[in-house]
Chains A and B, each alone.
Chain A
Amino acid sequence: MIARPALAAGLAAAAVLGAAALLGGDDEPSRPAAARPDPGRLVFAREACGSCHTLAAAGTRGELGPDLDQALAHHDRASLKAKILDPTPAGREEMTLMPEDYGRRMTARELDALVTYLLRR
């Protein structure tokens, strides 16, 4: 037979350990805010920019699109925004694989953060 004090002690320990296990649950995706990366870098990662573009600051080495370490030198804020939102503007027959719907995928604030990050790299 288990003595009452011992039973109480066991239950208390189990309760505390159980609470610790619950608090330490990690099946949910990590929250971006917890790590506090640059918000523009987070958009860069979320929108898979690095799958196609090389950018040394982000550590990506995509090769399907232009090397951003080179290409960004030719952009200012306005031209970069325009390029992201419309990679193949009317009247210019540039060939690109870049999707044309980033204006719908990102909020204006996210686009701003992305452009800031890219130009500050």
Chain B
Amino acid sequence: MRAAKAVVAALLATLLAPAVASAGGWATVGLSSLPDGTAAGKPWVVDLTVLQHGRTPLAGVEPAVILRGPQGGQRFAARPTDRPGVYRARVVFPARGTYRYTVDDGFSRTHALGSVRIGAPAGAAAAPQDGGVPWATLALAALAAVGAGLAARATARRRTLARA
């Protein structure tokens, strides 16, 4: 009975999706995470699981995440991981705004998988769009510079006292 159903399903696949059938089949794409909460300029690192006919891990394809947002479209290629059928993409939303994200499975078609509203980086809510300036790193660098300056001043003072 199950075998008969499998045959019917295979026939149905061919009938329902002639375009993809002519390309060798169809695939599904699962996401390891959603971009909700990702800030502008910060990466959303997501694993794409590409399964042929929703079942079999599909190796050797070149999937990509495609964003469509306020600044037009952008494509982020995914790279294979050590797990068959699993590809990793590093997606960066360039600015605040609402984006639609789709995935080209690299095999049969593009999958519309959702939309997300991207906000400003944490701690920069009132700042203008910054294109991803690493504020935290800059702040740490500034602190380091201040600390270094104080250390240098203390050393110089010790030397002066030693000479005296």
Q: Which residues of A pack against B, CB within 8 Å? A: 4-6, 8-10, 12-13, 15-17, 19-21, 24, 26-32, 34-37, 41-42, 45-48, 50-52, 58-62, 64, 88, 90, 95-99, 101
Give the residues from 3 to 31 in chain B that come closer than 8 angstroms, CB to CB, to chain A: 5, 8-9, 12-13, 16-17, 26-31
Contact partner of A48 among B29, B34, B148, CB < 8 A? Answer: B29
Whether A95 touches B8, Cβ cut-off 8 Å, given contacts A9-B148, A29-B88, is yes
Contact yes or no, B1 A8, CB < 8 A: no
In the complex the two chains form, is A42's CB within 8 Å of B8's CB?
no
* Of B69-77, B107-115, B123-131, the one touching chain A: B107-115
20 contacts between A and B (CB under 8 A): A5-B151, A8-B155, A9-B148, A10-B148, A16-B140, A16-B144, A20-B137, A29-B45, A32-B33, A32-B34, A35-B38, A37-B34, A45-B114, A48-B51, A51-B111, A60-B112, A61-B112, A62-B111, A97-B9, A97-B54
From A17, A34, A36, A46, contact of B31 by CB (8 A): A46
Chain B residues in 8 Å Cβ range of A59:
100, 112-115
Residue in contact with B32 in the complex, picked from A19, A21, A29, A41, CB distance below 8 Å: A29
Q: How far is the CA of A20 from the CA of B140 in the complex (A)?
A: 7
Assembled-state Cα–Cα distance A34/B35 (Å): 10
Determine whether the beta carbon of A48 is less than 8 Å from that of B141: no
Chain A residues contacting B61 (CB-CB under 8 Å) are none
> Which A residues are CB-close (under 8 A) to B53?
97, 99
A30 to B37, CA, bound (A): 11
Give min CB distance, A27 to chain B, whole Å.
7
0/1 interface trace, chain B 34-61, chain A, CB 8 Å (1 if under):
1111100011111101010111000000
Known: A8-B148, A88-B5. A97 touches B13 (CB 8 A): yes
Contacts of A27 in B (CB 8 A): 45, 90
Query: Is the pair B44, A30 in contact by a Cβ cutoff of 8 Å?
Result: yes
Interface centre among A26, A27, A29 (most CB of B within 10 A): A29
Minimal beta-carbon separation of A67 from chain B (angstroms): 13
Contact of A30 among B1, B13, B46, B134 (CB under 8 A): B46
Instruction: Decide if B28 touches A37 in the complex (CB within 8 Å).
Output: no
Cβ-based interface call for B84 (8 A): no
B162 an interface residue at 8 Å Cβ cutoff? no
In this assembly, does B161 line the interface, its C-beta being within 8 Å of a C-beta of chain A? no
